[in-house]
Structure 1
Amino acid sequence: MSVHTVNARDAGRHGQVFDVIGIGFGPANIALAIALQELQFSGTRLFLERHAGPRWQPEMLLAGSDIQNHPSRDLVTPRNPRSRYTFTNFLFENDRLFEHLNLGLEFPLRSEFAEYVRWVAGFFAHEVAYNQAVTSIQTDSASQLYCVTTQAGDRFYARSLVLAPGRTPVIPKAFAGCAEDRVFHLTQYLGRLEQLSRQGELKRVAVVGGSQSAIEIILHLRHTWPQLEIINVQRGYGFRLKDTSPFSEHVYFPAFVDQYYYSSAEAKRHINRHLHYTNYSAADADVIGELYVGMYEDRLKGKERVTIKGLHEIQSCTPDTHGYTLNVLDTRDQTCEALDNLDAIVLATGFRNLGTGEQDERFPAVLKDLAECLACDADGVIRIGRDYSLSAREGCSLPALYLNGLCESSHGYGDAGSFSLLSLRARDIFTSLNARLGLEPAAQKSA
């Protein structure tokens, strides 16, 4: 029975065994779905997605924001420029190609790229079971199958898994236990702000972080609520310009993946120190300039709508009579200050990588049931193969298992949430997966 002819939930009920199940159907596994189709994967497949439909960064679709990424670095072009699933063809088929070209934008609008992602996902709707949040992954040593259980109570069986669960938001310890309706990560931004604005006028909001996302949020707050006081708290001196040198951008080239993967741990730390500002704790020139001019214009009018607390560290976050108070430390003179009566605190604090640092995780949470069987390094961090495969530790056995994304610590900056290498990573996973499963290309199989 083919995945093309069976209802996804019925497949779970009937105990169908799929050749591959992909967990998550965001850009990484959408790129994989394209590769499986175009490279003629002959096996059955199914994708499980926890949300009700395809989506990409829905809480950060801010007016005027762009993707900071060349549009040809999309879901498929670097692997197959002739594909029907390119961003250019999306524009063409939606009768917007010339209008888009006439905009003269260096990067596409984020809202349009989100539409592109949904458009591509729509072609694979028959391969996806939505509203299926995975709660556990078990293996049967006798049958060498995975059993994936979802929150809906369904079970799905597979000979192999490709995991693309998305990155885990970083919530600093100071905010542990804070009510999520007022203290929330940027991945909840638009929804939470809409809820709060319905409850009453927003007067005072803090944004934590010094990243591109932090400055985009400040600009959105400033334009949306003209009377709002906005306080930015960051460890850096101020918003730093992102390193967009064409030489630094080589970190998003395919050759860099091999260079980085086969480097020693010390060499990787050295590379990271030099390349940190290509992707982290920095912002693009256009948004920095927009905020700086806006703050100057406010001062001309005798206002102080945006305050930047640079070189400050957050000590604690506590509820007060109105909302929350942030207790911060000025690292220049070690003085403390209480920022009180905050209606909301937005955490532009990034995402967890794999590692042993305070903000890292040793393995993605979706792998909790398999963690004891996975091969790890001396620090207990899972080992990832060059082909993005995870292997079993000595004495254990696991069917084919892949991590599609989240591999920045092993494969470099192309795995740091960028679209740049999605399609090439999907090709690498396809090639390895096809060999592991021993499948013939579909064209040969039907001959």
Structure 2
Amino acid sequence: MPPDLDVVGIGFGPGNIALAVAFEELELGLSAHFFERNSGPSWQSGMLLDGSDIQHNAARDLALPRNPRSRYTFYNYLFERGQLFEYLNLGLPYPFRKDYANYITWVAGEFAGQVTYGSEVRAVRAGGDGGRFVEVELATGERVHARAAVVAPGRQPRIPATFATVADPRVFHSSLYLHRLDRFSARPRPTVAIIGASQSAVELALDVSRRWPAATVVNIIREFGHRQKDLSPFSGEVYFPAFTDYYYDSTEPARRELDRQLRYTNYSAADPDVLNALYVQMYADRLDGVERVRLVRNTAVTAVGVSPDAVRLELTEVHRGQASTLDADVVILATGYHDLTDAAGPQFLPGILGEVAGGVARAPSGHAQVDRDYRLLPGGGGSLPPIYLNGLCETTHGLGDAGSFSLLSVRSATIATSIAKQLANTRGEEAP
């Protein structure tokens, strides 16, 4: 029995939305359908804070770096919405996050006929004709067959081991912040602990203290202070396509050294505007004799206990070993997201690929082997149908896969043209 589709997409966030755009504009003649577990298009819905921006150039959108003439660019979205001149008149270095979320929803709406929302994928496996095709099992039990699959479920929140077994609604990841605002209203003067030194941690410290002026925000970080993001244009070249080639062709020890050098272009650091805003607010509060935001430096959370009255954090100063405790009403984990890890790590591959994971080749480090075109490679002389990872390949492709939009449109073209080539080979045709 032939497959139902050429391509099945799992997830319809920015990565696979950009892929749908690429399929259309590259005119590859491929039939594709996407399954998205959310009830509709959304992007960072829990962190659309007032005044927050996207931290990258507006032109690095779903299409423009691949096709500047595309109608799916951010600037054309503004034009079609009648907002272009007003936006240009703002003089903002980066667009508001809310504006970009609306843009993503607008593009997704153009492909509504290719997406089934509210549909969760349970498993992706090889199936049919000797395992050359892909079988996707939905949570309803329905099975969809395709010649290729593109898996883009988004990266999973990183929950520190200390919090891994804490199942309490007062403790949650930063990505859920706006969905958990009701947790702050239980007490008139809540104590809110924010764990981490990320951009999100700084943004949340500002947002909580502005929404609830009577709250006490305690930001716990392992280092001496918040670090400014590396915004050098030289470091910014990690988001060039040429760097992806360089990184991919490097040895694994070389990749880890590059990760060390370039970490602060994206991780454990924040933009100058929010750092300055927080520092100024803390200084102004001291002039008024109050402390709405307290920074607890050089400190690790070593244990967590919960009671009806509070979440108790046991803290240890990392240099002097001094122990202390903090009772919080809310704990927000601004601790980032997982990339793919080695075979013993928390996310060797997304869970829905569990049935094919055993047939995937391993690098010497234990990571899954992914080809330059983002296709999973088979191990041990075996075979796999064409299964691609969209937005999950930082360990093999570098920081351009670190959740940034910068290379998203270029990556979508790489995946789309590779799929066309792979399927043409199986059919004995010429690739478009």
| DSSP 3-state at the match of 2:326 | strand
Query: Which of 95, 102, 105 is the equivalent residue of 2:92?
Result: 105
Counterpart in the other structure of 1:347: 333
Contact (CA 8 Å) 1:43, 1:439: kept in 2 or not?
Answer: no
Counterparts in 2 of 1:79 and 1:439: CA distance versus 1, 3 Å: farther
Structure 2 residue aligned with 1:45, among 23, 32, 48? 32
Instruction: Tell me the CA shift for residue 357 of structure 1.
Output: 9.7
Match of 1:293, SS state, is helix
Unaligned runs of 5+ in 1: 1-13
Select 2:288's aligned residue among 290, 295, 301: 301
Matched, 1:78 2:58: no
Q: Report the CA distance between 1:17 and its aligned residue.
A: 1.1
Q: What is the aligned counterpart of 1:418 among 381, 386, 404?
A: 404
Contact preservation (8 Å) 1:15, 1:155: no
> 1:263 aligned to 2:261?
no
Counterpart AA for 1:25: F
Distance verdict in 2 for CA 1:357–1:282, change over 3 Å: farther
Relative distance call for 1:357 and 1:211 in structure 2 (3 A) is farther
Whether the aligned pair in 2 keeps the contact of 1:141 and 1:397 (CA below 8 Å) is no
Tell whether the 8 Å contact from 1:196 to 1:202 is kept in structure 2 after alignment.
Answer: no
Q: Deviations over 1:280-316 (max 9, x none)?
A: 1110110000000000111111101111111101101
1:319 to 306, 321, 328: 306
Most deviating of 233-242 and 56-65: 233-242
- Residue 179 of structure 1: how far off its partner (Å): 2.5
- The equivalent residue for 1:385 is 371
Segment drifting more, 261-270 vs 24-33: 261-270
AA in 2 matched with 1:214: A
Give 1:375 deviation, angstroms.
Answer: 1.2
Distance 1:410 1:15 in 2: 33
Provide Cα deviations, 1:339-359, integer angstroms capped at 9, x if missing partner: 01x111000011112233997
Matched residue type, 1:117? I
The answer to whether the 8 A contact 1:208-1:345 is kept is yes
Residue 187 of structure 1 and its aligned partner are, at CA, apart by 1.5
When the two structures are aligned, how many residues end up with a matched partner?
428
3-state SS, counterpart of residue 290 of structure 1: helix
Inter-partner Cα distance in structure 1 for 2:353 and 2:72: 31
Q: How far, CA to CA, are the matches of 1:335 and 1:232 in structure 2?
A: 17
1:15 to 1:261, Cα distance in 2 relative to 1, 3 A = closer
Answer with 70-79 or 345-354: which moved more: 345-354
Q: Where do residues 221-240 of structure 1 align in structure 2 (5 Å cutoff)?
A: 221-240=208-227
Residue aligning to 1:11: none
Range moving further from structure 2, 319-328 or 373-382? 373-382
TM-score computed with the length of structure 2 as normaliser = 0.95
The AA in structure 1 aligned to 2:73 is T
Helix, strand or coil for the counterpart of 2:392?
A: coil
Measured after TM superposition, the shift of residue 90 of structure 1 is: 0.3
Aligned-partner Cα distance in 1 for 2:175–2:268:
17
What is the aligned counterpart of 1:31 among 6, 11, 18?
18
Residues 387-406 of structure 1: pairs in structure 2 closer than 5 A:
387-406=373-392
- Equivalent position to 1:337, from 320, 324, 340: 324
Residues 304 and 124 of structure 1, relative CA distance in 2, 3 Å threshold: same
Which of 125, 135, 144 pairs up with 2:122?
135
Name the aligned partner's letter for residue 51 of structure 1.
Answer: N
Find the residue that maps to 1:304 and give its secondary structure: coil
Is the 1:233–1:309 contact (alpha carbons within 8 Å) kept by the matching residues of 2?
A: yes
Matched with 2:149 is 161
Structure 1 stretches of at least 4 aligned residues deviating more than 3 Å after TM superposition: 197-202, 356-360
How many Å separate the matches in 2 of 1:445 and 1:411?
Answer: 25
Deviation at 1:243, TM superposition (A): 0.5
Structure 1 residue 36: deviation in Å? 0.2
Cα RMSD between the aligned structures?
2.0
Q: Tell me how far apart the structure 2 counterparts of residues 94 and 81 of structure 1 sit (CA, whole Å).
A: 19
Structure 1 residue 200 displacement after superposition: 4.5
Match of 1:367 in 2: 353
TM-score (norm 1): 0.92
1:393-431 per-position Cα deviation (integer Å, ceiling 9, x unaligned): 124321111111111111111110000000100111111
Amino acid at match of 1:65: S
Identity across aligned pairs (percent)? 46
